[in-house]
Amino acid sequence: MATVEAKVFPIEALREFSTRVLLHFGVPKKDASQAADVLASADLRGIDSHGVARLTSYVDLLSEGLINPTPRIKILRSTPSTATIDGDNGLGLVVGPQANEIAMDMAEKAGSGWVSIGNSNHFGIAGYYVLKALERDMIGWAMTNSTKLVTPLWGAERMLGTNPIAIAFPAKEEPPIVVDMATCAAAYGKIEMARRRGESIPEGWGINKHGLDTTNPDDIVAGGCLLPLGSDRERGGQHEAARVVATETNFSSDFDVFVRKSQPGITAYA
């Protein structure tokens, strides 16, 4: 396990770099800038695993023609406060922010807005979407399913996504509350970081490909699994398992955004 030398770039240079890479693959200027903004927001929040370093995975998909660089997003069904959107196989980094705007516009009029997206892909940090809601003095909520990496409670096989959830609440005088988390005992990025540093991981984070506890991060990558939030039976794994399974089973579209306008003069949720 070798350590990687870190280089620091100004955020504008990273934004510019991402934009130009995406332009190269036929992504229109406005969309490329939008996608670069999502990636940069991860770096700015210290979520390095989801920042510009992640650009490579989008590039792989674009270069293999697996992502549509010029999607035409369609609203399939809607009510005053809900919509189901077809992302036309565009970049999640482009489809996501557009859906987010639709949800916030709905919330402006109907009091709340829920948008569910199908036919899209990795949308960057869930936190990006809820931070946008804060800019409009709204409560933001974003969720997504993901590639399977997590074993259910007592399982020995990857069956569930890391299914992140982000929630943000504006506050009056205090700073807003922003939660942005995966629903496993530890985020996959923590495993990657331990590998880079040549460190072991704590018990309860994952199991190896034989279903046995491990503290070696390489075992997780080599066919092992992350453990779900709650970890094991004694620590409430059974509760969390129910919640993760519910998310996995029902939130089967690529992601869902909820935004509700906060009302002045009362605590955030009331």
**Residues classed as catalytic:** 122
Place of tokens 């035409």: 72
Contact between 188 and a second copy by CB under 8 A: the answer reads no
Binding mask 66-105 for a second copy (x = CB under 8 A): -----------xxxxxx-x---------------------
Contact between 155 and a second copy by CB under 8 A: the answer reads no
Return the number of other C-beta atoms located less than 10 Å from residue 155's C-beta. 16
**Beta partners for 138?**
261
Choosing from 182, 191, 207, 257, the residue that interacts with a second copy (CB under 8 A) is: 182
130 touches 97 (CB < 8 A): no
How far apart are CB 82 and a second copy at their closest, in Å? Answer: 4
**Beta partners for 77?**
84
Contact between 240 and a second copy by CB under 8 A: the answer reads yes
- When the beta carbons of 9 and 154 are compared against a second copy, the nearer one is 154
Choosing from 33, 118, 192, 208, the residue that interacts with a second copy (CB under 8 A) is: 118
Task: Report the SS3 class of residue 55.
Answer: helix
Contact between 246 and a second copy by CB under 8 A: the answer reads yes
How far apart are CB 261 and a second copy at their closest, in Å? Answer: 7
- Taking the C-alpha atoms of residue 153 and residue 164, their distance in angstroms, rounded to an integer, is 17
Closest of 136, 132, 159 to residue 148, by C-alpha = 159
